[in-house]
């Protein structure tokens, strides 16, 4: 399928998630079948100041392409300059964050605060489009406490956006309550751009249900992919009329370990421990059993120890499930 000028293998995309969507996580999501991966949100101001923390977020790895770089900021001129700086990188798409509900971001007038000012939102988009040298997509929420997409999106379309991703929750909702899929269908009914639906596509079945219920062009999966990075491939299987496949527990553990070693190479011990611990915690979240082992995973400080604990943990879970 075609989206924002890209040819994608399926309509299932990996959501940008701060603290999660590292290059290694994105690589794992791509191997799990994600058709397109996003960086976590990157500060335009941080990029212009070449802050080491920001530059770290912009690294990419061979094999994760196609990938989108997500920028956030409030000032059209700053955002335009940041997009120009990012133009030399290997990202197929620049995505703009118009959805972040975090107070620190909103206070700068960035993220979801731009939804309160449709003129500025369009100016920011136009500035990025003029400088990015590649398709620019926009990810937004419904509005502060009601659906304001009809006021905001037309300006983004005129500014040259190539696709709109709607996380169908208000800013006030945060991550609670249900995403309003009817709002995605409404947007799709009049928006001339491809619409990416987002919110509560938790697994292969619900991702396909979102496509069917809303008519959207693609579905972005966030938290569902934390628990199961192979959800994208399973969703694509269903979409193509195949029986959803997926790796065994042993193959999953092997993939987590392989990627943890890549994280070690890329970012050292701390990064690798954070990544691998996150994989293990997300994998076991909501499952009964092995509480003391999971506590030990939470406390282990080096990768070698975590690897040993992971073997024990998977073995125990397998035994308990049998």
Ligand X SMILES: Cc1cc2nc3c(=O)[nH]c(=O)nc-3n(C[C@H](O)[C@H](O)[C@H](O)COP(=O)(O)O)c2cc1C
Binding site for ligand X (CB under 6 A): 15-20, 40-41, 70, 97, 99-100, 139, 167, 198-201, 221-224
Farthest CA pair distance, the chain: 59
Report the residue number, 40 or 75, with the smaller CB distance to ligand X.
40
Q: Where are the alpha helices (DSSP H) in 113-248?
A: 118-132, 149-158, 181-190, 204-214, 223-227, 231-239
Q: Least separation, in Å, of the C-beta of 202 and ligand X?
A: 7
> Is the backbone of residue 244 left (phi > 0), alpha (psi -120 to 50) or beta?
beta
Q: Which is nearer to ligand X, 74 or 317 (CB)?
A: 74
CB of 266 to ligand X, least distance (A): 19
The β-bridge partners of 94 are: 69, 136
Q: How far is CA 277 from CA 37, 266, 268, 305, in A?
A: 21, 16, 14, 11
CB of 51 to ligand X, least distance (A): 16
Whether the bond between 246 and the residue before it is cis, its omega within 30 degrees of 0, is no
Q: How far is the CB of 175 from ligand X (least distance, A)?
A: 6
CA distance 238 to 47: 40
Q: What's the closest the beta carbon of residue 149 comes to ligand X, in angstroms?
A: 15
**What residues are labeled active site?**
100
Token pair listed for 142: 């419904």
- Whole-angstrom Cα distance, residue 282 to residue 293? 14
C-beta atoms surrounding 260 within 10 Å: 26
C-beta of 156: minimal distance to ligand X in Å?
15
Q: What is the rounded CA–CA span in Å between residue 261 and residue 220?
A: 27
Q: Which of 168/263 has CB closer to ligand X?
A: 168
Q: Give the residue with the Cβ less far from ligand X, 131 or 137.
A: 137
Which whole-number Å values give the CA distances from 287 to 6, 205, 281, 284, 302, in the listed order? 38, 20, 10, 5, 24
Nearer to ligand X (CB atom), residue 167 or residue 252: 167
The residue at minimum Cβ distance from ligand X is 222
CB nearer to ligand X: pick between 56 and 223: 223
């Amino acid at each position: 399928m075609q989206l924002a000028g890209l040819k994608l293998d399926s309509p299932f995309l990996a959501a940008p998630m701060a603290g999660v969507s590292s290059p290694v996580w994105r690589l794992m999501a791509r191997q799990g079948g994600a058709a397109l991966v996003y960086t976590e949100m990157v500060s335009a101001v941080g990029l212009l100041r070449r802050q080491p923390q920001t530059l770290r977020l912009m690294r990419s790895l061979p094999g994760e392409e196609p990938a989108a770089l997500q920028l956030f900021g409030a000032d059209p001129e700053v955002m335009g300059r940041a997009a120009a700086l990012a133009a030399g990188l290997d990202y197929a798409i620049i995505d703009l964050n118009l959805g972040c509900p975090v107070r620190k971001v909103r206070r700068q007038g960035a993220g979801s605060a731009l939804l309160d000012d449709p003129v500025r939102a369009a100016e920011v988009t136009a500035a990025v489009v003029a400088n990015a040298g590649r398709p620019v997509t926009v990810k937004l929420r419904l509005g502060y406490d009601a659906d304001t997409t009809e006021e905001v999106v037309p300006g983004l379309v005129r500014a040259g956006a190539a696709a709109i991703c709607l996380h169908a929750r208000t800013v006030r909702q945060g991550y609670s309550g249900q995403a309003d899929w009817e709002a995605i269908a409404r947007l799709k009914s009049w928006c001339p751009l491809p619409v990416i639906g987002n919110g509560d596509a938790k697994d292969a079945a619900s991702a396909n249900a979102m496509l069917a219920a809303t008519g959207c062009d693609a579905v972005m999966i966030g938290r569902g992919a934390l628990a199961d990075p192979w959800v994208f491939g399973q969703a694509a299987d269903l979409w193509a009329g195949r029986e959803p496949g997926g790796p065994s527990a042993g193959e999953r553990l092997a993939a987590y370990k392989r990627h943890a070693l890549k994280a070690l190479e890329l970012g050292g011990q701390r990064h690798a421990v954070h990544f691998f611990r996150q994989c293990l915690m997300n994998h076991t979240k909501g499952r009964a059993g092995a509480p003391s082992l999971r506590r030990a995973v939470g406390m282990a400080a080096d990768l070698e120890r975590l690897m040993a604990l992971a073997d024990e943990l998977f073995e125990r879970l397998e035994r308990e499930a049998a």
